[in-house]
A and B are shown apart, each in its own frame.
Chain A
Amino acid sequence: MKWLPAFVFSALLVAVGPARAETQLTFYYPIAVGGPLTKVIDGYARQFEQEHPGIKVNPIYAGNYDDARIKALAALKAGQSAPLSVLYSIDLYELIEQDVIVAWDDVTTTPDDKAWLKVFYPALMMNGTYKGKVYGIPFQRSTIVLYWNKDAFKEAGLDPERPPANWNEMVQFAQKLVKKDAAGNVTRWGVMVPSTGYPYWMFQAFARQNGQDLMNRDGNRTNFAHPDVIAALQYWRDLGAKHKVMPEGTVEWGTLRQAFTEGKTAMMWHTTGNLTAVKDTAKFPFGVAMLPASKQRGSPTGGGNFYLFKKTTPEERKAALAFVKWITAPERAADWSMATGYVATRPDAYATPKLKEYAASFPQAVVARDQFEFATPELSTFQTGRVRKLLDDAIQAALTGQKSPADALKAAQAEADRLLKPYR
Chain B
Amino acid sequence: MKHVYGWLLLAPAAILLVGFTHYPAVATLIDSFFSTGTAVRPSRFVGFDNYAALADDPIFWQVLGNNLWFALGTIPAAIAIAMVMALWVNEKLPARALVRMAYFTPTVLPMIAVANLWLFFYTPQIGLFDRVAALFGAPSHNWLGDPDLVLPATMVMVVWKEAGFFMIFYLAALQSLPPELAEAAKIEGASRWYFFRRVTFPLLMPTTLFVLVNATINSFKLVDHLFILTKGGPDNASSLLLYYIYQVAFSFFDTAYASALTVVLLVLLAILAVLQFLLIERRVHYR
The chain A residues found within 8 Å of chain B, CB to CB, are 1, 66, 70, 94, 97-100, 183, 185-187, 195-197, 199, 247-252, 254-255, 258-259, 262, 264, 383, 385-386, 389, 392-394, 396-397, 399-400, 402
Contacts and interface: CB of A to CB of B under 8 A. Distances in A.
Interface in B127-175: 127, 134, 137, 139-140, 142, 144-147
B57 to A, nearest CB: 11
B39 interface: yes
6 contacts: A100-B39, A248-B146, A249-B145, A385-B252, A389-B252, A397-B234
Nearest to B120: A255
B119 A252 contact: yes
Given A99-B40, A183-B137, A262-B126, A249 B142 contact: yes
The 8 closest A-B pairs by CB, nearest first: A99-B39, A249-B145, A250-B145, A396-B234, A385-B251, A385-B252, A396-B235, A249-B142
Nearest to A185: B139
A399 to B, nearest CB: 7
A87 B230 CA distance: 23
Interface of B: 27, 38-40, 59, 119-120, 123-127, 134, 137, 139-140, 142, 144-147, 228, 230-231, 233-237, 247, 250-254
Given A195-B234, A383-B252, A385-B251, A98 B145 contact: no
Contacts of A251: 142, 145
Contact of A1 (B27, B123, B127): B27
B134 A250 contact: no
A18 to B, nearest CB: 27
Contact of B119 (A66, A248, A254): A254
Contacts of A187: 125
B142 A258 contact: no
Contacts of A197: 231
A393 B235 contact: yes
A389 B253 CA distance: 13
B120 A250 contact: no
Given A97-B38, A264-B126, A70 B250 contact: yes
B119 A97 contact: no
Contacts of B144: 196, 250, 252
B55 to A, nearest CB: 16
Q: Is the interface of B mostly helix, strand, loop or mixed?
A: loop
A186 B250 contact: no
Given A394-B235, A399-B234, 17 more contacts: A66-B250, A97-B39, A97-B40, A187-B125, A196-B234, A247-B140, A247-B145, A248-B146, A249-B145, A249-B146, A250-B233, A252-B119, A254-B119, A393-B236, A397-B235, A400-B145, A400-B146
Contact of B123 (A98, A100, A252, A394): A252
B234 A247 contact: no
B125 A400 contact: no
Contacts of A400: 145-147, 234-235, 237
B124 A247 contact: yes
B46 to A, nearest CB: 15
Contacts of A195: 145, 234
Nearest to A253: B231
A388 to B, nearest CB: 8
A40 B237 CA distance: 39
A402 B235 contact: yes
A259 B119 contact: no
Contacts of A397: 234-235
Contacts of B254: 386
A385 B252 CA distance: 5
Nearest to B40: A97
Point out which of A199, A254, A402 has the most chain B C-beta atoms below 10 A from its C-beta. Answer: A254
Contacts of B146: 248-249, 400
B216 to A, nearest CB: 28
B252 A386 contact: yes
A389 B125 contact: no
A183 B138 CA distance: 9
A254 B112 CA distance: 14
